[in-house]
């Protein structure tokens, strides 16, 4: 096959897969939450209620797209697009199978950290441009939370990088042939999951939104498809961090050979996604200052210690 055609196929395949997963997650999440909270969830539209996604999409497309007169129009419009664009950029470095990946940077992990740090702007600008005090409070909380947890997320991954000797995700998966990194890097794994949840401001860390205190936080003033973009961005974010957790700690596409590599990757990603949904069903939201002091006083020393111990072990064993 022509290499350009093949590359385009992979790019659009990954894009299509990510977006489908994000849309499907709306249904999966509501059904699973229903299951865990002992109720039905959406079960009317189509078999098992699976067409609920389509009904939701049609609804959100036809909602009035209203920009409040007191908002900063340009920034208000740009903000929701930033989160979707940056998360989709992050998918570029995820290797789905040995030869199915968009690009294999030698700075892969750093590229993901860069896109996620640009993603903060969506929340900050959305909150600021709404010109609403609840939105602003949400944006302030979100900025502090995401900037802090970015640090631990980066540091927690350095153990993996040290064991592989490369930032490239492709070689990280290859290095897990013998043992998945979740075993030697269990501390890094736990810190990464916590920090990634805080970075996508997903429940239980959805403090920038915090419906019970701030209406809807930074997107209080958003409606219609602009609100939908924030929503899609959140679900894409969940998919991305699940895919990255699988790649970095759970062996990526590796697995017994009765299933193809792509199937292993998808299966593991789905399990991690379900785990994140379960967290939403199980845990209450911490208080805002508790979250920050927990980060700086517990996660930062732990992740530094993890780097130190990993480095010492690598040095000792050569």
Partner 1 sequence: MEILFYIASIVAVVSTIMVITRLNAVHALLYLVVSLLAVALIFFIIGAPFIAVLEVIIYAGAIMVLFLFVVMMLNLGKIAVEQERRWLSPGIWIGPAILSLILLLELIFMFAHSSQAIQATMISPKEVGVTLFGPYLLGVELAAMLLLASIVGAYHLSKRKKKAKHRFMEETAE
Binding site for partner 1 (CB under 8 A): 72, 75, 105-107, 110-111, 113-114, 117-118, 120-121, 124-125, 127-128, 136, 139-140, 143-144, 147, 150, 154, 167
| CA–CA separation, 269 and 266 (whole Å) | 5
* Shortest distance in whole angstroms from residue 242 CB to partner 1: 22
Q: Which is nearer to partner 1, 29 or 221 (CB)?
A: 221
* Shortest distance in whole angstroms from residue 127 CB to partner 1: 8
* Shortest distance in whole angstroms from residue 46 CB to partner 1: 42
Q: Extract the tokens encoding 155.
A: 């540091």
| CA–CA separation, 184 and 193 (whole Å) | 16
**Structure letter (DSSP) for residue 183:** T
| CA–CA separation, 97 and 170 (whole Å) | 9
Q: Which is nearer to partner 1, 214 or 277 (CB)?
A: 214
Q: Which is nearer to partner 1, 107 or 283 (CB)?
A: 107
Alpha-helical regions (H) of the chain: 3-36, 52-62, 73-90, 108-129, 133-164, 169-174, 186-199, 211-214, 224-249, 261-282, 288-294, 300-317
Q: Which is nearer to partner 1, 126 or 228 (CB)?
A: 126
Non-local CB neighbours of 280 within 8 Å, separated by 6+ positions:
29, 33, 202, 203, 204
Q: Extract the tokens encoding 57.
A: 């999409």
Q: Which is nearer to partner 1, 57 or 75 (CB)?
A: 75
* Shortest distance in whole angstroms from residue 128 CB to partner 1: 5
* Shortest distance in whole angstroms from residue 310 CB to partner 1: 16
Q: Which is nearer to partner 1, 124 or 173 (CB)?
A: 124
Name the phi and psi angles at 167, rounded to 5.
Answer: -90, -10
| CA–CA separation, 226 and 58 (whole Å) | 14
**Is the separation of the CB atoms in 255 and 167 below 8 Å?**
no
| CA–CA separation, 173 and 245 (whole Å) | 11
* Shortest distance in whole angstroms from residue 285 CB to partner 1: 22
């Amino acid at each position: 096959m022509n290499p350009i055609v093949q590359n385009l196929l992979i790019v659009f395949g990954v894009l299509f897969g990510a977006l489908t997963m994000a849309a499907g997650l709306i249904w999966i999440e509501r059904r699973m939450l229903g299951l865990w909270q002992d109720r039905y969830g959406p079960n009317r539209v189509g078999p098992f209620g699976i067409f609920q996604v389509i009904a939701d999409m049609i609804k959100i497309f036809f909602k009035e797209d209203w920009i409040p007169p007191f908002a900063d129009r340009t920034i208000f419009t740009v903000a929701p697009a930033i989160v979707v664009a940056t998360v989709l950029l992050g998918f570029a470095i995820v290797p789905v199978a040995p030869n199915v990946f968009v690009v294999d940077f030698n700075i892969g992990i750093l590229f993901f950290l860069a896109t996620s740090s640009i993603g903060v702007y969506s929340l900050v600008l959305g909150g600021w441009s709404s010109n609403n005090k609840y939105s602003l409070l949400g944006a302030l909380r979100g900025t502090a939370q995401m900037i802090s947890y970015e640090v631990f997320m980066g540091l927690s991954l350095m153990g993996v990088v040290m064991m592989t000797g490369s930032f490239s995700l492709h070689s990280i998966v290859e290095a897990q042939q013998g043992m998945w990194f979740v075993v030697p890097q269990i501390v890094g794994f736990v810190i990464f999951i916590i920090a990634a949840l805080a970075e996508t401001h997903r429940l239980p860390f959805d403090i920038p939104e915090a419906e019970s205190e701030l209406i809807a936080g930074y997107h209080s003033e958003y409606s219609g498809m602009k609100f939908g973009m924030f929503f899609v961005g959140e679900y894409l974010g969940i998919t991305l961090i699940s895919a990255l957790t699988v790649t970095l700690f759970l062996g990526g596409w590796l697995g017994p050979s009765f299933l193809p590599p792509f199937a292993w990757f998808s299966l593991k990603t789905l399990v991690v996604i379900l785990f994140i949904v379960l967290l939403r069903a199980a845990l209450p939201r911490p208080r805002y200052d508790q979250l920050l002091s927990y980060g700086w006083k517990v996660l930062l020393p732990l992740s530094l210690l993890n780097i130190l111990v990993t480095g010492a072990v690598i040095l000792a064993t050569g």
